[in-house]
Structure 1
Amino acid sequence: MSVGAAIALAVGGTLLMAAGLTWMALRFNREYNEHEKAALARLRQELPKRGWTFAPRDDSIVELYNWWTEERTWRNPLEPFVKPPRAKAARDVITGSHRGRPFVAAVLDTHYQGEHVWARCIWIRTPAVRPALGVSKVPALESGINAGPGMGDLRFGNPEFDDKFEVRTGSDAFAAAVLNPAVIRFLLAERCRLRGLRFFGDQFDVSDQYTFDHRDPAELIPALDLRCDILDRIPSAVWAQGA
């Protein structure tokens, strides 16, 4: 094969690959636009029925997010000078009540280590402000390492839970009250869906693997149900004054 033919083949292959990538990008954008249009149509139907409100932008929750990341996030001791994420704006903000609990759902425009990151939040307000508590699903080996002296991971006497979840908190008593046997059983049953949960101030959020567009009621309502199902298993005494 001549040099010219080899170059022609290489150029042709590159052009075909570029055309394929362009086609895939156009198809993805078309499918996303179709999904967004359908999701927003479903949301417009649900808003008046449920008494929810929608705002394209509402930065009132930005301050709370930044307070939480600055004051209540457990930092990596190996990276003491790395600052936590900070939000600049809140977009597609939905507020309302679900199963008698106030909530806010939004996408936060955040910056972290020089990069722009979209952070989705679906927060349910708790009856009272309580200490910070974070529960995250981790590999068993990592959970075991973090349970070592001085690492801060609590253990609850349930080997399956202790191996699969890491617990960080500002109050051991609050963590023990929240992570009672009923909640632990629920978290283990839902472990394929859950990545973690956190309490901060008077807000509660869950990290799950199936909520991609909070504007779609078909995704938002199950996400809210998941959070309420966990809160339903926490005794009301946990929120009592002085608890």
Structure 2
Amino acid sequence: MSVGVVVALAVGGTVLLGAGLTWMVLHFNRQFHAEEAGVLGRLREASPRQGWMFAERDDSVAELYTWQQQECWQRNPFRSLLRPPRASRAKNVITGFRRGRPFVAAQLDVHYDGEFQRVQWIAVTTPAARPTLSVTRSGPIASMVNNALWGEVRVGYPEFDARFDVMSPDPRFAMAALSPALAEFLLRDPRILRGFTLLADRIDVFDATTDHREPGQLVAALDLRCEILDRIPAAAWA
């Protein structure tokens, strides 16, 4: 095979590869824009019916998130210079009420520990601001290790204590909030992937929500947060 033929084949292959890559980029770009248009269309349709307000950007929500993180920050004894997460921008902000409770949902640009990440924040307002409470799913071995390292709260339900790590600067509040009904709910409900956090006067849940702009997903996420709050005794907020 002559050198000219080899060169021609190489050039032709490069051209075909470039054309294929261009087609793939254009295809995925069109698909992305079509999906975005569909989600936003469904959101625009659902918002008046649900009483929601939507803003493409509202950085006051980023400020609210940052303030909440700063107010509830607990220093890591092993990393004393570590600072709390800081949000610089809030996009696709949805606000409204669900089951009579105010909520905010947004995509945040968050800076933490020298890294940048996009965080989906869906927070429902609680009856009152209370001490921080973090409840995360864990295995029995990991739970014992975490208890030895951090002195986590034990609420007195053996199955729950073995499967969840509970952290709070106020153990009395943690035990008051984690009623038998809530502990059983957390153990059995498959929607709660990893647990929840109470920071200041808002609750967020580690769930399976992938896009808070999708009305069905947002309603389900808000209902889950409300169901957790419904199971916290009123006396815990006093």
Instruction: Assess same fold via TM > 0.5.
Output: yes
Aligned to 1:176: 175
Residue of structure 1 equivalent to 2:7? none
User: Any residues of structure 2 matched to 1:13-162 within 5 Å, and which?
Assistant: 28-148=28-148, 151-162=150-161
Identical residues among aligned pairs (%): 51
Which runs of no fewer than 5 residues in structure 1 stay unpaired?
1-9
Query: In the alignment, is the contact (CA less than 8 A) between 2:197 and 2:203 conserved in 1?
Result: yes
Q: SS where residue 214 of structure 1 aligns?
A: coil
Report how far residue 27 of structure 1 moved.
5.0
The aligned counterpart of 1:230 is 228
Amino acid of the residue matched to residue 101 of structure 1? R
- Amino acid in structure 2 at the alignment position of 1:213: D
2:132 and 2:169 in contact (8 A); partners too: yes
1:191 deviates by: 4.7
Describe the SS at the equivalent of 2:150: coil
The answer (yes or no) to whether the contact 2:85–2:111 under 8 Å persists in 1 is: yes
The CA distance in 2 between the partners of 1:22 and 1:163, in whole Å, is 53
Deviations 1:96-151 (A, max 9, x none): 00111110101111112333211111111111111111111223322110112x61
* Structure 1 residues 14 and 145: CA distance shift in structure 2, 3 A: farther
Query: Paired residue for 1:7?
Result: none
Q: CA deviation at 1:180?
A: 0.8
Letter in 2 for 1:156: V
Inter-CA distance 128–21: structure 2 relative to 1 (3 Å threshold): farther
Distance 1:91 1:156 in 2: 38
How far apart in 2 are the matches of 1:185 and 1:230? 11
Counterpart-to-counterpart distance in 2, 1:136 and 1:18 = 48
Larger radius of gyration: 2
Between the aligned partners of 2:158 and 2:16, the Cα distance in structure 1 is 54
Give the Cα separation in 2 of the matches to 1:127 and 1:204: 10
Task: Report the residue type matching 1:217 in the other structure.
Answer: P
Structure number with higher strand proportion = 1
Counting matched residue pairs gives 238
Q: Distance in 1 between matches of 2:54 and 2:19?
A: 39
Give the alignment's TM-score, normalised by structure 1: 0.83
Shift of 1:233: 1.1
